[in-house]
Structure 1
């Protein structure tokens, strides 16, 4: 590597693959160029050298190189959602920039654009690009972080510019838990054809896709259990696909009560092992969009307007916690990726369990001699406590 004059400025040159190439140019004086040269030489000695020309690849060009390998490891639903984010929110706004131009300032400006959207000045009230929710913005940023992290590993850039981004805060949607009387009202309001599905959801905590994708062969009605091995997903084009459960722990066995078994038995009549347990009255797969239209009506009739289908899963968790079922068992039943996920979602309900724990501990200490607990404490020790 060496420094040489290039018109009014200086540039850093090197020989790569037998050819003279310009690594960097535009340095205002020889001193600053030599200082940079020393840094590059030190990087090369340490094995940290990154050819500055690699960062001149545009983000759009890098996406073309990176995406095929990335999508190969994604589930179909993730491939669809992440592909949409890349096409609609990342490449159109950042694709023209060179990788080494995508810095923290550029990313913060991009996030602002995603949050504010782009109004259509020719059509008041319309949008060229609609504002995105905080959750979607964070998802887009997470994908960009992955994309730029791959560029770091490929030695296109030195550091990931997404590491210190200021992201919009999330306002968690409040969970809703049904009481037992409310669950009874809902059951009565739901048409007879759909009652077994709603009953299964609230009594097992299955995810929607796991329930509507359930096959006859996954049920053991006599044993009161089912095996979750797949989930049904509806794609943007309307097609239905069957994939693996959401998490590795999603493959699980879930027990159910005799009342649920009684509701399921009529659904199995005349069906083969490969058939779906739940179908529409005409025998077709159950689509969430169509089911939701009826759901809005039924919940309103039951005085439960605003209740989401997913709240049935939350209800199952709340019922188990109120019954002092260990969090680890609840986590396994719900198929969470880890117990930390379960604790994060439902840990705030645990004070109810704590009261039961204290009662159990108090009962266990009934035979402890009270005289042994009344010793006076040293005043200095009390102050330290």
Structure 2
């Protein structure tokens, strides 16, 4: 960078490739321009320098550039949902604004308006996409800071979870056609998502070791109905899950004679599972079992509830890894309300372990009489011993 006179003022210039650009201008004297250039050089060394006119790029143009780089790592369903959020909620409201002109106040107003028409969950999902777009703009030095940081999102009522009791789980097992009972038991015993179960291949199940490996999912594209394999929901969703003995026994017959690439769970006619077709079977079985309203996904919630109600429940970090959540906060937000029962068991255990004392005696001090070993010599003798030693 260098300083040069430009008409009655001074400006800071730099070279980008073979092109000279003006970094800043309008300084009344050379000293002020040099001082500003020193500060800009420091920003450049730290990687904080935002090049002039970078923030003038329209959000709509930047969002499309960002999306082309982003979409390749997403599953088909996630691609469809995220691009829909961009087209439906972000581009119409903010697409014509320059990236550098969007301020936190603009984002907050946009969120507030969106919250009047959409659920809190939808607002959070859409804001999350905009936040990623703006984070990308910061990374590419289009802007200095993300205007989505600190946005206050609307709070919605959490969807009520349903859990099966052990007797209900047994009735539902009996009500399902025999062909689908291993699928049901595996969902209940591992907490896997539907797509993870539908995309599970025989080569990823080790019944001898008692584990299975989640590496991909199978989903059905809306509209076309095409079945596609894709990556798990998050990077943390790639995981190894241990199998209870009942699940191991249920899976032995399904994987014994199959090639590693073959799917474990199929329809009664040998076709890949489709959730919309299985739903009819599921609804009929839940009605017969007297647990109408239970969703297949509630087996995942039931799995966690049973883990937390065990005599020695695992901690949330272990449950997070088992479920494949991206962060511990997701696990805590979703299942933290189940922890009071665990805390109660902890308190009872401590009640048994802590030493007893008569808190109602001796003026309420709670002190017990000292033993001979606890008694200290008089202060004077102690001092003499120290002096004479």
Same fold (TM over 0.5): yes
C-alpha distance 41-60 of structure 1, shift in aligned 2 (>3 A): farther
Structural mapping, 1:80-99, within 5 Å = 80-99=80-99
Structural mapping, 1:16-165, within 5 Å = 44-47=37-40, 48=43, 50-116=50-116, 131-165=117-151
User: Normalized against structure 2, the TM-score is what?
Assistant: 0.75
Structural mapping, 1:1-385, within 5 Å = 44-47=37-40, 48=43, 50-116=50-116, 131-236=117-222, 237-268=224-255, 270-323=257-310, 324-327=312-315, 328-365=317-354, 368=355, 377=364
- The superposition leaves residues 299-342 of structure 1 with CA deviations (integer Å, 9 ceiling, x where unpaired) of 23333222221111111111111113221443343333444443
- Residue 373 (structure 1) shift: 10
C-alpha distance 110-60 of structure 1, shift in aligned 2 (>3 A): same
3-state DSSP of counterpart to 2:53: helix
- Residue 184 (structure 1) shift: 1.7
- The superposition leaves residues 190-224 of structure 1 with CA deviations (integer Å, 9 ceiling, x where unpaired) of 22222221121112211222211111222233444
Larger Rg: 2
The answer to whether the Cα contact below 8 Å between 2:12 and 2:33 also exists between their aligned partners in 1 is: no
The answer to whether the Cα contact below 8 Å between 2:210 and 2:242 also exists between their aligned partners in 1 is: yes
CA distance in structure 1 between the aligned counterparts of 2:105 and 2:33, rounded to whole angstroms: 25
The answer to whether the Cα contact below 8 Å between 1:4 and 1:13 also exists between their aligned partners in 2 is: no
3-state DSSP of counterpart to 2:260: coil
Q: Which runs of 5+ in 1 are unaligned?
A: 6-10, 25-32, 117-130, 380-385
- Residue 12 (structure 1) shift: 9.3
The answer to whether the Cα contact below 8 Å between 2:115 and 2:123 also exists between their aligned partners in 1 is: yes
- The superposition leaves residues 74-118 of structure 1 with CA deviations (integer Å, 9 ceiling, x where unpaired) of 4554433323322332223322222233233433443355445xx
The answer to whether the Cα contact below 8 Å between 1:12 and 1:22 also exists between their aligned partners in 2 is: no
CA distance in structure 1 between the aligned counterparts of 2:34 and 2:97, rounded to whole angstroms: 27
Cα RMSD after superposing both structures: 3.6
User: Normalized against structure 1, the TM-score is what?
Assistant: 0.76
The answer to whether the Cα contact below 8 Å between 1:3 and 1:34 also exists between their aligned partners in 2 is: no
The answer to whether the Cα contact below 8 Å between 1:23 and 1:51 also exists between their aligned partners in 2 is: no
Moved more, 273-282 or 296-305: 296-305
C-alpha distance 293-2 of structure 1, shift in aligned 2 (>3 A): farther
- Residue 257 (structure 1) shift: 3.6
- The superposition leaves residues 230-276 of structure 1 with CA deviations (integer Å, 9 ceiling, x where unpaired) of 32233344333333433444333333344333433443465323211
CA distance in structure 1 between the aligned counterparts of 2:239 and 2:21, rounded to whole angstroms: 61
The answer to whether the Cα contact below 8 Å between 1:224 and 1:261 also exists between their aligned partners in 2 is: yes
